[in-house]
Amino acid sequence: MRAQRALWVALVIPLLACPQRGDPAGAPATESEPEVEQEGPPLSGRFGARLHRIESPLRLPDYLLVGGAGNEVAFNEMRGRVLLVTFWAPWCGICARELPKLDRLAGEHRGAGLRVALLGRDASAADLARNLDERGLHYAESYLDVDNVNAAALGVNGVPTTFVADRDGWIVGAVRGGADWDSPEAEAYLRHYLDGPP
């Protein structure tokens, strides 16, 4: 298990530490940036500048998550849907701006097979769920990342951090910090996976 965890950290931390176009704190990249030329779904604009492709896909770890009602689930039980996994904390200002966008995506695309899992920290599972409810967020699923084991396995060292996984549970993209999830570019990127084979 430790060897697997070390492998995740060794592979994902360099990915998240790559310099980003635009301001690292999340200021928009310039509109004149060209589309990123790589295989896979389209990446362009501010969203494309923030998202890092994972060229050699990694599978989401299978450590348990705890929901607001005390229910336990693992990522392998979520396969079959495109998954956005966002690590967040109640005290995080960027998270406060990011979570409503992700919740809207969850509501708009749940019929197409999108699932949004918000993995909180620094509070109990019940408090995290209550926090989201008080913010008026009802479509994204709230979980506690117990002892931050999933964050550690994925090399997450700040919030928010979001991973995109395909229907088979393979991580194909990652965003550290905020992203323009409401943009047409984000829509096109997600559509690539939502419209792909079930």
CA nearest 104: which of 135, 65, 70, 72?
Answer: 135
In whole angstroms, give the CA distance from residue 162 to residue 154. 11
Tokens representing 50 are 């923030």
101, 182 in Cβ contact below 8 A?
Answer: yes
Residue with the two structure tokens 């194909």? 172
Residue with the two structure tokens 């395909």? 166
47, 37 in Cβ contact below 8 A?
Answer: no
How many Å separate Cα 137 from the centre of its chain?
Answer: 16
155, 12 in Cβ contact below 8 A?
Answer: yes
Q: Can you give the pTM of this predicted structure? A: 0.80
- Report the pLDDT value the prediction gives residue 198, as an integer from 0 to 100: 63
How confident is the prediction along the chain (198 residues), in pLDDT tens digits per residue? 444 444 344 444 444 433 322 333 333 333 333 333 346 788 889 999 999 999 887 999 999 999 999 999 999 999 999 999 999 999 999 999 999 999 999 999 999 999 999 999 999 999 999 999 999 999 999 999 999 999 999 999 999 999 999 999 999 999 999 999 999 999 999 999 999 876
- Report the pLDDT value the prediction gives residue 55, as an integer from 0 to 100: 84
CA nearest 48: which of 164, 174, 149, 185?
Answer: 185
The amino acid at residue 18 is C
Under DSSP, the state recorded for 110 is G
Alpha-helix residue ranges (DSSP H) falling in the chain: 2-17, 45-50, 93-109, 125-134, 149-153, 184-194
| β-strand pairing of 141-144 with 170-176 | unpaired
In whole angstroms, give the CA distance from residue 173 to residue 127. 29
